[in-house]
Amino acid sequence: MPSGPALTLPARLLLLAYDPGKDRVTGAPDLPLALRAAALVELAARGLVQEVDGVVTPVLGARTGDAVLDQLLELIEESRPRRWRRLITHHARATHDLARRGLVTDGLLRRERGRVLGVLPVTRYRLRRPGYVEAQRAGLLSVLTSPAPADDVPPEDATLLVLAASGHLRSLIPTRTRRLHATRLSALSVRAGPHVPPIARALEAAVKSAEAARSSGGG
């Protein structure tokens, strides 16, 4: 892990979505959905949200001190009851933007302002430590392809792999690799903890719906 504050699941997943060679996020059109799912997983792992009769219920007034997680807790508290999938899609961009801002603050991303064609303003976010990100990506992929038992995998690594696969982060786990290692991913989902499989299933359903909408020209 890098020096400084420990990274939350959504922060780690955002870094892993970067292609260090291109110094940008690639192959992840539904990254905000994956980051929202990661935030929900972290809250569930901390015992701050749980599914009760199919509805996600928070511990009222609970806070973590992390901007991304606390914003999501407030959203769950203040909005009508929702299931995992609806929470994954509801204002997911807010989780993405806050996670990215946190990585800038932590010194892992840098923000660059420029102009497209010398006219249109644009903001780009570049890696400050591409070597670190490359090593993390390589390490996770070795876990995915390893013959070692899933029980030997750290639960957080298992969680990141499952979310990356369910969120169709293709630059990290290409579609062919995801299908080839479907059995391994199922075992890693169990290893990740009981809160992960239902959220991962909801994430995959949300991503497939978004992909279908784009395919049909609906968004």
CATH superfamily of this structure's domain 9-113+121-213: yeast vps74-n-term truncation variant domain like (1.10.3630.10)
pLDDT over 50 (residue 147): yes
> Mind listing the pLDDT tens digit for each residue in 77-118?
998 899 999 999 999 999 999 999 999 999 999 999 877 666
User: For residue 1, what pLDDT band results from cuts at 50, 70 and 90?
Assistant: very low
pLDDT at 218: 54
pLDDT digits (tens, 9 = 90+) for 177-215: 999 999 999 999 999 999 999 999 999 999 999 999 999
Instruction: Write out the DSSP string of the chain.
Output: --SSSPPPHHHHHHHHTEETTTTEE-S-TTHHHHHHHHHHHHHHHTTSEEEETTEEEE-TT---S-HHHHHHHHHHHHSPP--HHHHHHTTHHHHHHHHHHHHHHTTSEEEEEEEETTTEEEEEEEES-HHHHHHHHHHHHHHHH--S-GGGS-HHHHHHHHHHHHTT-TTTS-HHHHHHTHHHHHHHHHHH-TTHHHHHHHHHHHHHHHHHHHHTT--
What pTM did the predictor assign? 0.94
Indicate the domain borders of the chain. Answer: 9-113+121-213
